[in-house]
Structure 1
Amino acid sequence: MATLDHLGITVDDVPRASAQFDPVFAALGYTRAYDAEDHAYWRRPGQPEILLYPSRDAGTGPHVHGRVGWQHLAFAVDSREEVDRLHRIALDAGWAAVREPKEYPRFAERYYATFLEDDNGIRLEIMHNPPRDAG
């Protein structure tokens, strides 16, 4: 059986991107295991590592959402309050709100999420979608 081991993300400036990612990843339970000019990465037990790498061609960013390639990375959290808290942490770290936290009934009747982008156009979704029997 194959499992996802790690996710590499290309950015224009690793230290700047690391500074934006770290507060969000820390709030999601990840620990920054390495941080340097040439790459950075985070770990969380039982989860894939997340790595940042520098662009081979400086100044080729930001990524444009909707083009071929990266779409977004979604993190499921335990409550709507956690979505709201992570949204604030991301904004404080310099992320831009693509969509403020709100319900998305087109996904599921209890789906609540926010979408954020960093300076590189990397988009994250923080979402809560409790099972139907959770009330």
Structure 2
Amino acid sequence: MPVFDHLGITVADLARATEQFDPLLQALGFARYDADGSVSWYREGDVELILFPAREPDSQPHRHGEVGWQHLAFAVESRAEVDRLHSVALAAGWSAVREPKLYPRFNDRYYASFVEDDSGIRLEFMHNPPRSPPLSDPRDLRIG
């Protein structure tokens, strides 16, 4: 059983946020469910993501680095998938924070991009394959 069941995100404009999130989450294989006062996406075995409208009509967008939300990272299978999702996000109106690239400060395999929506919600698409197993010492292959 997953530890996290769902992630609720408050947005300034639910209709606009839905326009921005839907293409991305559909591209990741999530199904959309509309409800009264919220929109959610779910994929079997994953955490449900739910958008809620702000309770205060004049709420300001979230600012990265302030207390609260930092970002949500989606792990994907390849660098090409990071590139594809980054393009889908830009086409849906997200702003590029960081273009797809390697992040050697994390490790030599970490490839990612970062985008932000109109509400200041930041997402990361990342590919971080496992380190290749070390080559065996030829002495370990001796017979007898």
TM-score (norm 2): 0.88
Change (3 A) 1:40 1:131: same
- Stretches of structure 2 that go unaligned for 5 or more consecutive residues are 134-144
SS at match of 2:114: strand
Change (3 A) 1:132 1:97: same
Change (3 A) 1:35 1:81: farther
> In the alignment, is the contact (CA less than 8 A) between 1:65 and 1:71 conserved in 2?
yes
* Alignment match, 1:27: 27
Count the aligned residue pairs. Answer: 133
* Alignment match, 1:85: 84
Quick one: which amino acid aligns to residue 48 of structure 2? E
Change (3 A) 1:103 1:15: same
What is the identity percentage for the equivalent residue pairs of Structure 1 and Structure 2? 62
Deviation at residue 61 of structure 1 after TM alignment: 2.2
Deviation at residue 29 of structure 1 after TM alignment: 1.0
* Alignment match, 2:136: none
TM-score (norm 1): 0.94
SS at match of 1:114: strand
Deviation at residue 60 of structure 1 after TM alignment: 1.1
Q: Matches of 2:86 and 2:2 in 1, distance apart?
A: 32
Q: Matches of 2:110 and 2:57 in 1, distance apart?
A: 38
* Alignment match, 1:3: 3
* Alignment match, 2:121: 122
Deviation at residue 2 of structure 1 after TM alignment: 6.7
